[in-house]
């Protein structure tokens, strides 16, 4: 069996970038309009940070001007880099953000998905699970002690989202037919598709905690090997 495949994860916090000019400068006119359309200021700034960072990182990997990168969008809404040159590296990506925090996962030649949530998010695990989790997942949450149930719910949620993103599906297509292990302690949690579901790409999961940022998350990679995550934190004073 092949070993884990490396996935680069870039982690950025809005508070570390008081000046977003470098990110805003590489956006397209449409992206700038989307950022300006946010009625609340912070989400608009997070969009600029996430999209600008995505472009700059892809530009570095592809050896091209970040402003020249174009994207194609799948029916599910999953974006892909438009490869004008078939010999160019096949970088694929996934973006997630919560509040002022952004993560972007990059994988070479394999579809990837990532999702994060804040550990202090106010949730009602059993109420939300009734709508979005499978019977197996709901039973696992009910058997989890009260003090750990919210974390278990967030573990399950991010794992489901990561798989859905990697596969390029929508959450609605997977709600009743994708079950994940909700134990927050698992680093390579198991998941299972209902045998009655349509055929789907095989995926492997790697779960993570970022205590300094109070985050829980998961990354999924399409294929039969688990992703090995390599984190890099961006700061306002330095951008590689």
Sequence spans of domains, the chain: 5-233
Cα 132 to the chain's mean position, in Å? Answer: 18
Instruction: Please compute, for residue 63, the number of CA atoms within 13 A of its CA located in the half-sphere on the CB side.
Output: 5
Each residue's pLDDT, cut to its tens digit, for the chain (240 residues) gives 466 789 999 999 999 999 999 999 999 999 999 999 999 999 999 999 999 999 999 999 999 999 999 999 988 888 999 988 888 899 999 999 999 999 999 999 999 999 999 999 999 999 999 999 999 999 999 999 999 999 999 999 999 999 999 999 877 778 889 999 999 999 999 999 999 888 899 999 999 999 889 999 999 999 998 899 999 998 764 544
Q: Is 36 exposed, middle or buried (0-12, 13-18, 19+ CB in 10 A)?
A: exposed
Angle at 130 between CA 125 and CA 136, to 5 degrees: 90
Cβ atoms of 162 and 172 closer than 8 Å:
no
Pairing of strands 91-98, 79-81: unpaired
Closest by Cα among 118, 87, 135, 145 to 211? 118
What pLDDT is stored for residue 176 in this prediction? 83
Do the beta carbons of residue 35 and residue 91 sit within 8 Å? no
Distance, in Å, from the CA atom of 44 to the CA atom of 201, rounded to the nearest integer, reads 34
For position 123, what pLDDT does the model report? 94
- Which pLDDT score, from 0 to 100, does residue 137 have? 97
Quickly tell me which residue has 């994940």 as its tokens. Answer: 180
Full DSSP string of 179-199:
EE---TT-SS--EEE-TTSPP
Rounded Cα distance, 131 and 203, in Å = 24
Domain 5-233 belongs to what topology? Ribosomal Protein L22; Chain A (3.90.470)
Alpha helices in the chain (DSSP H): 21-24, 29-36, 41-62, 125-132, 135-142, 146-167
Length of the chain: 240
Distance of alpha carbon 220 from alpha carbon 70, whole angstroms: 24
């Amino acid at each position: 069996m092949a070993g884990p495949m490396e996935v680069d994860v870039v982690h950025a916090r809005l508070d570390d970038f008081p000046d977003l000019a470098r990110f805003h400068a590489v956006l397209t006119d449409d992206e700038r309009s989307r950022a300006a359309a946010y009625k609340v200021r912070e989400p608009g700034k997070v969009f600029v940070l996430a999209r600008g960072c995505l472009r700059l990182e892809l530009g570095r990997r592809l050896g091209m001007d970040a402003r020249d990168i174009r994207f194609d969008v799948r029916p599910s809404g999953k974006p892909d880099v438009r490869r004008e040159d078939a010999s160019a590296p096949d970088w694929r990506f996934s973006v997630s953000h919560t509040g002022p925090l952004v993560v972007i996962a990059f994988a070479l030649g394999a579809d990837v998905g990532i999702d994060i949530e804040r550990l202090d998010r106010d949730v009602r695990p059993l109420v939300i699970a009734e709508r979005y989790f499978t019977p197996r997942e709901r039973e696992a949450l009910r058997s989890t002690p009260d003090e750990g149930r919210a974390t278990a719910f967030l573990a399950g949620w991010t794992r489901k989202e990561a798989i859905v993103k990697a596969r390029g599906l929508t959450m609605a297509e997977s709600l009743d037919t994708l079950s994940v292990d909700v134990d927050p302690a698992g680093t390579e949690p198991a998941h299972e598709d209902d045998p009655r579901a349509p055929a789907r790409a095989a995926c492997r999961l790697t779960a993570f905690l970022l205590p300094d940022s109070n985050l829980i998350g998961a990354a999924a990679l399409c294929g039969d090997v688990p992703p090995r995550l390599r984190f890099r934190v961006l700061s306002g004073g330095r951008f590689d």
